[in-house]
Structure 1
Amino acid sequence: MVYLAFLLFFNLISCFPSSHAQNTDLKLPLRAVNLGNWLVTEGWMKPSRFDGIINKDLLDGAHVQFLSTKLNKYLCAENGGGTVLVANRISPSDWETFRLWRVNESYFHLRVLNKQFVGLGNQGVKAVSNTPTHSETFQIVRKDDAPNRVRLKASNGFFLQVQSETLVTADYTGSSWDDSDPSVFNIAIVNTLQGEYQITNGYGPVKAPQVMQAHWDSYITEQDFKFISANGLSAVRIPVGWWIAQDPNPPKPFVGGSLKALDNAFTW
């Protein structure tokens, strides 16, 4: 549910008369338009603001599955978490599905069904930690000409390898991409999220403010408000994210600036 919370938004305003209609008598019912996708980013926007993100298909909250090319079996968090990882399933389900917590463009935490994180154990690779640390951080290394072919580098600098159906370790140093290589997996992305959290987390703290400011400045402008008024509409509805209440310093990875854009709407 924590990921859903990142995507929920509330409306600080449901609708308000545009400045061009404020000097006239308010006539009901209002003729209004919803200005969605401006101050709350959504994945359907065109042109897409997500296209510039490196590994844009591996955004925070995505659900992925890993198929060992050597065994042709899926990586599995036994019992949904709380014990070791194995690679003995011929078809994927909940135990074989991992949710990405994106750290940056290449590094991730892997969360299993029971909300534990995959990490290094004394014997093998386990999903037992309730809080991700350095030990629960993995680099997803993609093959240049086949991005769905990946290897998982653990925090100790070694790759995960499938030694057998019941033994997955993080101690491999090879570099082959052959099917017989025990460290190679085919990754399947079975579900993705595209919202404000994903776009700001995806671009990172340096680039995200630039991308979002450019979007706020260009997606809806004063000319749009003039067009709305000229065509007989008397109100607008502007969805905003809950994080706007803490602007200009919202919790990370959200970036400040959307409140100023909302202020512009009141003056237009």
Structure 2
Amino acid sequence: MKTPHTKHSQLLRFVFVFAHVFFISNGRTLLSTNNHQMIRAVNLGGWLVTEGWMKPSLFDSIPNKDFLDGTELQFKSATIGKYLSAELGGGTIIVANRTSASGWESFRLWRINERSFHIKVFNNQFLGLDSAGVNLVAISTNSEASGIFEIIRKPDDPSRVRIKAPNGLFLQAKTEDLVTANSQANGGWRNDDPSVFEMTIVQRLQGEYQITNGYGPLKAPKIMKDHWDTFIVEKDFEFIATSGLNAVRLPIGWWTASDPTPPKPYVGGSLLHLDNAFLWAKKYKLKVILDLHAAPGSQNGYEHSASRDGSILWGQTEESIQETIRVIEFFTARYAPNPSLYAVELINEPRASGVPLDVLSKYYEAGYQAVRKHAPNAFVIISSRIGADATELLPLTVSKMKDVVIDTHYYNLFRDIFNSMTVDQNIDYVRVNRSSELQAITTSNGPLTFVGEWVAEWQVQGATKEDFQRFSKAQQDVYGRASFGWSYWSLKNVNNHWSMEWMIKNGYIKL
């Protein structure tokens, strides 16, 4: 017979078991309300992953710095008046018959040294000579098997060039239908010399690959060490901790996991500075969001992912995914004992046009497990794809992951819609459109949400300090509703409004 006391004990046990099961099955919700501290962070961008626009002086001393890896060039024949083009985008001959220039008429550099280059065409073949050693073709997909070229600029007019071919002679466009490498280039720089071309620099990249390969193995180690030693220091962590922020988002590159001997052209030393960052974060009681900003082969083709030439190679092979998982596991295992490790972001800004959702989802599942192996209590952050709706990640996180965060980035820049907006229109866009976008991925039983990058910069000309203050406050108000928090891009930048340090010290941002 069951006594009232027994029934009471069973009831208490049932309540305890139910509560325990509820906590396990709804860990995300309880963690976000009871244990999770809302993140107000700043990115330490441009430090351990180079972005030249943030500190252009880093590139000043590179010899022939106009011709770094990934520089995109177009060449117009001075004689014919038409552009060189890879016929069909590559795989066959080079012609000189295009009246306007676009993708097939653009050529990207792979730098060997300051004078010598492999040259890549639209479909990823490299320039070379045919079997007769005369006609210019783009057939080989192997850079080492293709030819080495030299671009020689006219001393008093650097947009006027000749291109020396692997056979020691110069390219010339005598007809529209074929470009050959058989000129002695002894006609001066006149327009009637078919070896003369007008060169246009379409695009430059200034990332980690460009700076290390540009300076070369002898100079790059010192240049990078000097930068790492001075760009972010311990006092910066003290400033962050006393400014109303409680965390840093720390962009890193995959090569740092191979320190002190990373693959060429990267140089060793960045791991020591990452170690220092964790020591300083612990000292000043700051949380660290470790963000894999640059993955092997580049996940978006931009310089901030250390792309060599704008191509997106990450995820195209199983090896690139497995290498990235090894990198994530290395960093997580190394820093899990440090109480400042709060979250690991598996990859930053994969681009939808180059990374299929199924490939990314497979990696996120494996990367999640790699983090959980060493840091069962750390948050795992997955980044939405550039050019895709962040809600596409919700099914993955709801069904298979716990304590996971979706990161989305909001800039009132980079799209034509913002070019003509006024101050109030920008602010209204944040309060209405951004609020709606954020609400769409913030669900009661789903992942936490994180605005991992935002900035108080826009296309508005002549804005006042008060305008910037209103814009900053609107973003803080809206992004403060993200259930995980937000992070400003970035702490330091030569462009003042992109520097949170400058914005705080000068009263443009109030926390």
Q: Normalising by structure 2, report the TM-score.
A: 0.46
The answer as to 2:180 corresponding to 1:156 is: no
The answer as to 2:135 corresponding to 1:124 is: yes
* Identity within the alignment, %: 60
Once the two structures are overlaid, the 10-residue window that deviates more, 230-239 or 158-167, is 230-239
Equivalent position of 1:209 in the other structure: 221
Equivalent position of 2:398 in the other structure: none
Please give the per-residue CA displacement for 1:121-146, whole angstroms capped at 9, x wherever unaligned.
11511111121236511001111221
Q: Which amino acid aligns with 1:212?
A: M
Paired with 2:196 and 2:181, the residues of 1 have a C-alpha distance of: 13
Paired with 2:278 and 2:86, the residues of 1 have a C-alpha distance of: 52
Paired with 2:271 and 2:262, the residues of 1 have a C-alpha distance of: 11
Residue segments in structure 1 that go unaligned for 5+ positions in a row: 1-25
The answer as to 2:179 corresponding to 1:168 is: yes
CA RMSD in angstroms comes to 1.8
Q: Which amino acid aligns with 2:195?
A: S
SS in 1 for 2:174: strand
CA contact (8 A) 1:69 1:184 kept: yes
SS in 2 for 1:72: coil
Query: Aligned match of 1:75 in 84, 91, 94?
Result: 84
The answer as to 2:86 corresponding to 1:86 is: no
Q: Normalising by structure 1, report the TM-score.
A: 0.85
Paired with 1:30 and 1:80, the residues of 2 have a C-alpha distance of: 47
The answer as to 2:158 corresponding to 1:147 is: yes
CA contact (8 A) 2:216 2:265 kept: yes
Report how far residue 227 of structure 1 moved: 2.0
CA contact (8 A) 1:101 1:108 kept: yes
SS in 2 for 1:238: strand
Paired with 2:168 and 2:147, the residues of 1 have a C-alpha distance of: 12
Change (3 A) 1:114 1:232: closer
Once the two structures are overlaid, the 10-residue window that deviates more, 85-94 or 207-216, is 85-94
Equivalent position of 1:32 in the other structure: 41
Please give the per-residue CA displacement for 1:86-139, whole angstroms capped at 9, x wherever unaligned.
111111122211121111212111111221111111151111112123651100
Q: Which amino acid aligns with 1:120?
A: L
Report how far residue 177 of structure 1 moved: 1.4
The answer as to 2:209 corresponding to 1:200 is: no
Residue segments in structure 2 that go unaligned for 5+ positions in a row: 1-34, 281-511
Report how far residue 56 of structure 1 moved: 2.1
SS in 2 for 1:167: coil
SS in 1 for 2:59: coil
CA contact (8 A) 2:126 2:146 kept: no
Report how far residue 166 of structure 1 moved: 1.7
Equivalent position of 2:104 in the other structure: 95
Please give the per-residue CA displacement for 1:54-78, whole angstroms capped at 9, x wherever unaligned.
2323221122110011111111111
**Runs of 4+ displaced beyond 6 Å:** none
Equivalent position of 1:191 in the other structure: 203
CA contact (8 A) 1:244 1:258 kept: yes
The answer as to 2:136 corresponding to 1:136 is: no
SS in 2 for 1:263: helix
SS in 1 for 2:54: coil
| Larger RCO: 1 or 2 (CA < 8 Å, sep 6+) | 1
Q: Which amino acid aligns with 2:124?
A: K
Equivalent position of 2:263 in the other structure: 251
Q: Which is richer in strand?
A: 1
CA contact (8 A) 1:98 1:112 kept: yes
Equivalent position of 2:422 in the other structure: none
Paired with 2:247 and 2:178, the residues of 1 have a C-alpha distance of: 62
Q: Which is richer in helix?
A: 2
Paired with 1:108 and 1:47, the residues of 2 have a C-alpha distance of: 23
CA contact (8 A) 2:140 2:146 kept: no
Once the two structures are overlaid, the 10-residue window that deviates more, 154-163 or 126-135, is 126-135
Once the two structures are overlaid, the 10-residue window that deviates more, 64-73 or 189-198, is 189-198
